[in-house]
Amino acid sequence: MNYPIKLACLIDDDDMYVSLLTKLIDIRKLAEEILVFKNGEEALNHFLSSFKDPQGQPVPQIILLDLNMPIMDGWGFLEELSKHDFPALNNCTLYIVSSSINPVDIERSKHFNLVKDFIVKPIGPNELIEIFSEAPTAP
Amino acid sequence: MNITAFTMKRRRDSHTHSSPMEKSDQFSIDKFYYQEISALTEAGGWSVDFKNKTSHFDHQARIILDVPKDYVPTLRSGYTFYAEEHLDRATEFFFGCAEGKPFSTEIKMQTYNGEIFWAIAKGKPLRDKSGEIIGIRGVFRKIDEQKKREQQLKQSLKLIEGHNSRLYDFAHIISHNLRSQVSNLQMCSALMDKSNLTNEQIELVDNFEKIGNSLDVTLQHLNKIVSVHNISSTKLEPVVIKEVYDRVVAGLSQDIRSSRAIMYTEFSEVEEVMYIEAYLESILQNLITNALRYKHPDRDPEITVFAYEENGKKYLMVRDNGLGIDLDKHGKDLFKLYKTFHGNKDALGLGLFLTRNEVQAMGGDITVESKLGKGSKFIVTLQ
């Protein structure tokens, strides 16, 4: 079975949203595996350790990042991640997926090279298919 | 006798009849008013004579400064009537005045008993016949009440601004959180596999979708209204009205063309206004859109946009020859949220509400004159 994405990553604290999105991804067979983190800190710790260890865990091809999360929010995650230069990230497409329609947030997202685009929730099946097929395919 | 001779005689007579008695009458009249006025305004006078090295406080000054009955002011003791924190300021003004520079300033003073109060103090150099400065004379008025009210106002303003800011944050957070849940609702209904459902069940599922969409739209409106506050903290800048109008009309060109609308403008009287450009654009956009939307079926719309000045205030008027509004019936609801009157399917009932919010956020107001079947005239007070 040819999935467009081998590993997708969801960083979001809304359990309901995560379960719905996971269902959608499964139904449409968009990704083989899904990695979930409840906040920026959890995600950051995982990536920092996996990037530093070349034999370590696989890097997701796509990351869907929420903005409003406890402990460390989306901005905090982006800022910390931006401090490092991980070549592995070149094969990863990161999208901010948020219910925020605040133009300030949208503007701010443009300052991060890591961010491919800002998607406003809800993300529908068609849009999901589009971004999953655009993201770099698994090596 | 001719008139001129008569009046001249009168004048000469009055001159010779100006006795010391009359002069002192005038003097006592003046003195009466002076005393009454100084008591009414709580203003006192003082003087310093450099030659004789004496100082003088007038009656009201003595009252304001609460000095004992037999108190004699001196040059040096004059300084004790200024609050310590303003003593340097007072000294500077005093010496400046002694060198010929009059002063007028708000300053903190203190009474004989050390009670501090705000005052306006003025001083002028006193010159002798040869123009040499021989002293200083001044007046001062208690403005404590005024100052206190000013400070209270400032505090209230700060409180209100803080409150508004918190309300805005609150509305923003709530609207964001609500949108998260609405988006989940929409996703959920999108995921529903309707293939094994009965028609009735399918209808119910579709309703879920519609409800989710309605909620989403309502929240978007909320966000629009809340964001009016956000821009209000932006700085004002000079906005060229014609430029904004041209932009709005360009965006509406399709509608203007299809409704065969004739636009009249007059911006020569008021070309520029200190405003927030985004607001002016939004206001013009809404008023012109309304004028186009509510055109009269029997005639092509004629819309006039006119900026003028009256009694020092700047106004913007948008007039049309459309359907008009029954103000008796709908007048009080016109600027309210979600109230529509013509059954137009494009009308959300949001436009005038937002427009008035924007106009009022800029410190102005909007009024309407209208006649059913004839047309309407909206007047915005810009500043």
Cα dihedral B110, B115, B116, B121, rounded to 10, equals -40
| Contacts of A129 by beta carbon, 8 Å cutoff, 6+ apart | A28, A30
What confidence score (pLDDT) does residue A138 get?
A: 45
Domains belonging to chain A, first-starting first, are 5-134 (3.40.50.2300)
Non-local CB neighbours of A111 within 8 Å, separated by 6+ positions = none
| Predicted local confidence at residue B11, as pLDDT | 52
Q: What is the reported pTM?
A: 0.53
**pLDDT value at position B227?**
67
Closest CA to B107 of B135, B67, B147: B147
What is the mean pLDDT of the segment spanning A98-112? 85
What pLDDT, on a 0 to 100 scale, did the predictor assign at position B170? 77
pLDDT of A98 strictly over 50: yes
Mutation target vs B (from A19, A101, A106, A128; most B CBs, 10 A cutoff): A101
- Per-residue pLDDT tens over the stretch A53-86: 767 778 899 999 999 999 999 999 999 998 888 8
pLDDT at A136: 65
Closest in B187, B220, B223 to A122, CB measured: B187
Q: Which of B182, B187, B213 should we substitute to test contact with A (largest number of A Cβ atoms within 10 Å)?
A: B187
- Between A and B, how many residue pairs show a Cβ–Cβ distance under 8 A? 44
Residues of B with a Cβ under 8 Å from any A Cβ are: 172, 176-177, 179-180, 182-184, 186-188, 190-191, 220, 223
Reported as a single tens digit per residue, the pLDDT across B55-105 is 999 999 999 999 999 999 988 888 899 999 999 999 999 999 999 999 999
CB contact under 8 A, A24 and B223: no
| Spans of chain B, pLDDT less than 70 | 1-21, 226-234, 345-346, 348
Residue A137 — φ and ψ, nearest 5°? -75, 160
Cα–Cα distance, B359 to B282 (Å, whole number) = 10
* pLDDT for position B265: 95
Distance from CA of residue A32 to its chain's centroid? 15
What is the per-residue pLDDT for A139? 41
Contact of A10 with chain B, judged by CB distance below 8 Å, is answered with no
Kindly write down the DSSP assignment for every residue of A19-54, as one continuous string: HHHHHHHHHTT-EEEEEEESSHHHHHHHHHHHHH-T
Q: Do B188 and A124 touch (CB under 8 A)?
A: no
